[in-house]
Structure 1
Amino acid sequence: MARCNVYIHPTSLVETEHIGDNTRVWAYSHIMAGATIGANCNIGEHCFIESHVTVEDNVTIKNGCCLWEGITIGAGAFIGPGVIFTNDLYPRSPRLPEAADRYRTKEWLVPTHVAEGATLGAGAIIVAGCNIGAFATVAAGAVVTRSVPAHALMIGAPARRRGWVCVCGRPLTRAGAELSCPHCQRMFVLSGDTVVAR
């Protein structure tokens, strides 16, 4: 497959043919066959991306991240350094005789989706099956144990919603059901746990 303006550091191992134009893969990263990487992505040093992972366009993955089978990263998402994903809620070594039957199929695999424009701060932990909504922000070191709504600001261990964030990444100011961004002036309406642009 022809690649246009793709940079792969000589110490990286890239086995997939599915890398979009203008993507950069930095030192000591490994991307397995069967992974799909979009255009204009930046994959930092010491990253591992397993088969059957999808990374859409314009994604930044900082150093030291591992993306396991079943993970999907939406367009424009930011994955901070050292973010940890899981894909198995009850892990055992498949080589353990007592667990071998469980791993004969992929029924154990629990997928996770990080939606468009979301941010995962440094060292955040995302438990398998906890999806991250569009433009949500998970703070550094947070432990996500349930799915996160769009635009939510999640902090702590376990992560709890502490506010809402704009598409530009800044915290939103709330007045009743109205949310506004003091930085870019965008306006939103809050209905339950749903934030909608006005």
Structure 2
Amino acid sequence: MIATSTPSLPLPANLQNVDEFEQWQRQHIHEGSYEFVRGRIIEKKEMKQAEYLILKFLTRLFAKTAAYERGDELTPEMDSYVDETRKRRPDLAYFSLSQIQETGKGIRQRTRFAIEILSDSESYQDVIDKVQDYFDGGAELVWYVIPESKKIYVYTSPDESKAYKGTDVISAAPVVPDFQFTVGNLFA
């Protein structure tokens, strides 16, 4: 599910942080999922079938990794807390077993590895903002999947990326070293 920059819920003027947003969210019944970024509520659009196929390919491949065997997960639409004013919901986010267990104690988690699938409604600035937020939250790796051009942009920092396509092999190292595949297989 991909974010848009237009809030669909009316934002009360007094919401300044994630705690206030989540409290407000519990009090207002709504459908869908949302991110909160510095006072803005950002709606996540429903996943399209082509995006679901990408998600399925990636999650099934992840299930063959040593990280999965340890109990780690590559989870769709899981909250990833950046700081007190930003909460993102990557299309897929990697969380270790210990992070997952800590969520049961109410401890907020930040992903080390986020995967986003570009939507038609996202601007270049939206992409840059998300990548920056993930790294601000402690991510070591961000993949941006571009279905239209059949490419994956791999960010190792907010300012460093490399495009992979066709017969290029992509790897989630150093976070999940054995999570790798030929890019063209994702779009086959």
Per the normalisation by structure 1, the TM-score is 0.28
TM-score by length of 2: 0.29
Q: Counting helix residues as a fraction of each chain, which structure ranks higher?
A: 2
